[in-house]
Amino acid sequence: MALPGDRSEIAFFDVETTVPTRPGQGFSILEFGAILVCPKKLDELHSYSTLVRPADPSLISSLSVRCNGITPDAVVSAPTFAEIADTVFDILHGRIWAGHNIVRFDCARIREAFAEVGRAPPEPKGTIDSLALLTQRFGRRAGDMKMATLATYFGLGQQTHRSLDDVRMNLEVLKHCATVLFLESSLPDIFTVNSWVSPNATTRSRSNGKPSPVGTSLNLSTSSSRPKSEDAPNLSSPVQGTGEDHPILSLVTHRRGEEVSDSAVANPERTDSFDMGQLSNQMETESLQPDVTMEEKTELMSPKTNSAAAVSEGSSGHDAFIEPDKVSTSNISACLVPLFHGSQVQRIKILHRDVILQLHCARLSIRFGINTKFVDHAGRPRLNFVVDLSPRLCEVLEACDSAANKLSMDSGSGSEWRTVVTRKKGFYSYPTARLHIPTTVSGNVAQYGTEICQKEPSGTVQKLVFVKFDAAELDTLFKPGTFVDTFFSLDPYDYQQSAGIRLVAKKLIIHSE
C-alpha cells in the first residue's frame, strides 16, 4: 500500500487479540485494521486490514472466539506479525494515532508485537484515545462508554469486534458526538441547565494542577521517543495541527482559548489519562497500572443478559454482613442488575441465596499498609491496604470470582479477569486481597467512606473521628501485622480491558493490641 509521505493523516486503528485464560499469559494479535483519515475533511484516504497468525495457535481459546469470532482455522493461512510488521510500521510511525481505548490496550499490543519480532516499534506524533475523550465529555448520557453502547446510542448498528469495522464505527461515533457537542455549544445557557454534567463540576488539569470546568478543556500531549518503560513523557511540544486542522478536536473543544491539559488526547506511554469525573455515587474510577490488583470501578455491562427480576439487598446495618464460615459456596451466584433505576446499562452483583453478598471477617492481619499510589480526578489519594486471607475466606472469594467471571464472559466481555485473591511466591506465602477505603465528597469536603473504629485491649470499641482527609494519619493506624475486623462489599468491575471484583470496606475495627 503506497502511503503519503507527509504523515499528516490521522491513523485510526484497532487490533483483535487472543484472550488470556491463565495468569501470566500474554496477548497475541489476531487481526490488525487501520484507516488513514484526512484531518481537515475526515475523509477516509486509505485502509488496510489483515488477519494475523499467532506463533502458538493454541492460544485461540473458545473465549477468544466468543469475543471476536476469529477461529484457528480462519488464521491458518494468514501472515505472521513479522510478515506484516513493515506495513504496520509504515501506517503508524510518525502519525497521530486514534482509537477507542488504545492508550490502555492497542498501543501496548503493538509495542509487544514489535518487541517479539525484535524490532523497534512505531512512534506516534500524538494519540487520541476516544474512550478518555468521550467519557470526559459525553459519558453519563451514553452509559458505560463501550463502543457497542455508543453505537447503539447513535443507532449505528451492532459492533462486530472486527478491526476494520470497529475502526470505521469509532470514527462515526466521534463525528456524532462532536456534532452534538458543537450544537450544544451554540446555546450553552440552555444546554448547561439540562446537561448531563453539572456546570459547577471541576476536573484537575495535569498541566498546572488547577481546577478547570468539566466539559470545557481538551487535553493534548505528544509522544516521546523514549522507551515505554520510562516514566516521564515529553509534554513540551504540541500535537501537530490546531483545531482548524483537526475537525474532531475543533468540534469537541467548545470554546477557544481554554486551558489545555494532557489526559484526553494522551501520550501512549501514559497509563492514567482516563478521567471520568464524578458521574454518580455508584461509579468510581482509578488509574490502571500493571501492578494494580483492584481498580476503583464498578461493573458496567451492555444489556446482553437478562438480570434477575428482583434482587434482595438483605437487611440493613451490619447484620447484612455474614461470616465466611456461614457461606455455602454452592449457593453463590451472580446476576446482572440495572446500574440505577430505569437504566439500560447493567452491572454484575454477587448473590448468596439470592441476597447480595457482603462479608464480615474478624482479625485479618494487615500485610501491607495504606497505599496512596493512585489519585482520583481531584488529586486525592485512593486508599487501599492488603490483608492476609484465611483458607475459608479464600474459598468464598474464589467462588465469587468464578461466578462473576463466568457471567462476565457469557455477557460478551473480552476484558482480562483479575482474580480477587493474590497468590505470590517469594518472601511471603499467604494468599492476600486488597481492601479499598472509598472517599465521599460533600461540597468541597472529602471524607472517608468507611466507618473506622479502634478496639482497645479491654474490648472497648470506639469510633474514630477524623477532622480532615489525611492519608498520612491513616498510615499510622494500618501498620503491617495489625489485626483488623472487616465489613466489606464485593463490587465487580469491568474497566478498560480489565475486570474483576473490588472489595470495598464499609466498616473497619482496628485492634490496638
Q: What is the pLDDT of residues 376-410, one digit of tens each?
A: 656 678 899 999 999 999 999 999 999 999 998 88
pLDDT in tens, 474-490: 888 999 999 999 999 99
My answer on whether 333 and 461 are in the same domain is: yes
348 and 470 belong to one structural domain? yes
Is residue 332 located within the same domain as residue 248?
no
- State the average pLDDT over residues 126-135: 89
Does residue 404 sit within a domain? yes
Q: What is the average pLDDT score of the chain?
A: 75
Q: Phi-psi region for residue 220, left (φ > 0), alpha (ψ -120 to 50) or beta?
A: beta
CB atoms within 10 A of CB 513: 7
In this structure, the answer to whether residues 422 and 347 fall within a common structural domain is yes
The answer to the question of residue 337 being in a domain is yes
Q: Which among 219, 252, 285 is the end of a domain? A: 252
47 vs 119: CA distance, rounded Å: 23
Cα dihedral 89, 414, 437, 281 sign: positive
- Domain's final residue, options 252, 276, 296: 252
Q: What does the pLDDT average to over 348-360?
A: 93
Distance separating alpha carbons of residues 149 and 141, to the nearest angstrom:
11
Among 24-38, 202-216, 465-479, which stretch is predicted with the lowest mean pLDDT?
A: 202-216
More confident residue, 101 or 261: 101
Helix, strand, or coil here: 373? coil
d(CA 43, CA 317): 58
How much is the pLDDT for 428?
52
φ and ψ of 192, to 5 deg: -65, -40
Give the residue with greater pLDDT, 510 vs 184. Answer: 510
Is the domain of 375 the same as that of 493? Answer: yes
- What residue numbers bound the domain in which 94 lies? 10-252
Most confident of 205-209, 308-312, 364-368: 364-368
Output the CA angle 25-267-375, nearest 5 degrees. Answer: 80
- Asked whether residue 431 is assigned to any structural domain, the reply reads yes
Residues 331 and 230 in one domain: no
CATH code of the domain containing 46: 3.30.420.10
User: Does 99 share its domain with 243?
Assistant: yes
Distance (Å, whole) CA 287 – CA 272: 5
436: cell is 479499598
Q: Note whether 398 and 324 are within 8 A (CB).
A: no
Q: What is the pLDDT of residue 425?
A: 63
pTM of the model: 0.46
Provide, rounded to the nearest whole percent, the portion of the chain with pLDDT above 70: 69
Residue 120: inside a domain? yes
Which residues are part of the catalytic machinery?
Answer: 161
Alpha carbon distances (Å) from 214 to 131, 139, 247: 16, 12, 21
What pLDDT score was predicted for residue 444? 67
Confidence class for position 372, pLDDT limits 50, 70, 90: confident
Residues 237, 322, single domain; the answer is: no
Q: What is the CATH number of the domain that holds 475?
A: 2.40.50
Q: Determine, yes or no, domain membership for 124.
A: yes
- pLDDT tens digit string along 439-476? 887 766 778 889 999 999 888 999 988 877 777 788 88
Domain-located, residue 20: yes
Residue 189 has pLDDT above 60, yes or no: yes
Residue 195 placed within a domain: yes
Q: Would you report the helix, strand and coil content of the chain in percent, each value rounded to 5?
A: 25, 25, 50
Least confident of 115-124, 284-293, 427-436, 478-487: 284-293
Number of domains in the chain: 2
Q: φ, ψ for residue 234 (rounded to 5)?
A: -85, 115
Of the residues 198, 226, 252, which one is the last residue of a structural domain? 252
pLDDT score recorded for residue 141: 77
Residue spans of beta strands (DSSP E) within 125-191: 126-129
Contact yes or no for 378/204 (Cβ under 8 A): yes
Query: What is the per-residue pLDDT for 286?
Result: 33
